[in-house]
């Protein structure tokens, strides 16, 4: 339950009606949900500077971890720190994509929500068409959008997990490249299977499968931020967006 839109207040009221136990993760204590009296706060995570709150995901998971709702992983902060030094190649890549008309994002398993996040941030910050799709649905429509030079970002699941998912997404990358797409692959260190098919390869550290989104979202947020900056846009105050939606 994330305090980003007033629609969450409606969700809280429905949960209250159904006598469902609630917990909220709030940016700051002075929030519309807190003022209405529900739900109790797990922890205030600090007010975001940018309107699109790119750090909210990691902050929320940190709050849940500290309260014992998630298993504490002492290596998680270190994994994010290791990811950050690799941002300069991502920034250079972003500047090379400034003239792209659209960008597609593909992911499987926990990589699918990451694909959605990457597309969302690109829309919000760089004002360009971007869509995230489950990689398993590539042949059921999205593949028709691929043309010569179209950037396609693929979030690759760890080969150490369910190997069948990894093999399938490698096949997806091959299909994209065979149709002229420009493949931008996010894969963990040591994954050599993707190298022959990646036009651009972004490495992330090895982490447990379910924690991969914490590190794979970092380069996508850097990509969106740098593309917006290259276009001359304000990344902290994107146009037409509001922190809280007050009218339908």
Which positions ≥6 away from 61 have C-beta within 8 Å? 70, 214
pTM score, whole prediction = 0.77
Quick: pLDDT tens for 127-175.
999 999 999 888 888 899 999 999 999 999 988 877 888 999 999 999 9
pLDDT at 1: 38
Using one digit for the tens of pLDDT, what is the confidence trace for 9-37? 667 677 776 777 666 666 555 555 555 55
Delineate the domains of the chain, giving CATH numbers in brackets: 7-66 (no CATH), 83-230 (3.40.50.10490)
CA dist 24 and 178 (Å) reads: 46
Structure confidence at residue 98 (pLDDT): 92
Assess contact for 120 and 4: CB atoms under 8 A: no
For residue 148 the two structure tokens come to 């010569």
In the chain, what are the helix, strand and coil shares in percent, each to the nearest 5?
45, 15, 40
Matching residue, tokens 């917006």? 228
Q: pLDDT tens, 183-242?
A: 999 999 889 999 999 999 999 988 888 888 888 998 999 999 999 999 999 888 888 776
Phi-psi region of 60 (alpha: psi -120 to 50; beta: other; left: phi over 0): alpha
DSSP H helix total and E strand total for the chain: 8, 7
Residues 6 or more apart from 86 whose CB is under 8 A from it? 202, 203, 219
Cα–Cα distance measured from residue 245 to residue 248, given in angstroms and rounded to the nearest whole number:
8
The residue ranking higher by pLDDT, 116 or 159, is: 116
């Amino acid at each position: 339950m994330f305090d980003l839109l007033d629609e969450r207040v409606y969700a809280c009221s429905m949960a209250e009606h159904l006598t469902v136990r609630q917990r909220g993760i709030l940016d700051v204590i002075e929030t519309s949900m807190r003022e209405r009296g529900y739900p109790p706060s797990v922890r205030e995570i600090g007010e975001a500077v940018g309107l699109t709150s790119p750090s909210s995901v990691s902050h929320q998971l940190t709050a849940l971890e500290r309260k014992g709702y998630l298993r504490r992983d002492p290596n998680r902060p270190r994994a994010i720190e290791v990811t950050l030094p690799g941002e300069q190649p991502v920034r250079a890549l972003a500047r090379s994509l400034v003239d792209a008309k659209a960008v597609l994002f593909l992911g499987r398993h926990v990589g699918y929500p990451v694909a959605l996040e990457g597309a969302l941030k690109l829309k919000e910050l760089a004002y360009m068409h971007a869509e995230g799709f489950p990689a398993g649905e590539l042949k059921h429509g999205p593949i028709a959008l691929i043309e010569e030079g179209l950037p396609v970002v693929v979030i690759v699941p760890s080969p150490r997990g369910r190997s069948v998912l990894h093999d399938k997404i490698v096949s997806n990358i091959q299909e994209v490249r065979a149709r002229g797409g420009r493949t931008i692959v996010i894969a963990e260190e040591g994954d050599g299977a993707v190298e022959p098919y990646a036009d651009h390869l972004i490495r992330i550290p090895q982490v447990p499968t379910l924690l991969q989104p914490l590190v794979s979202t970092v380069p996508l947020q850097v990509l969106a931020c740098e593309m917006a900056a290259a276009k001359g846009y304000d990344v902290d105050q994107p146009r037409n967006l509001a922190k809280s939606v007050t009218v339908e």
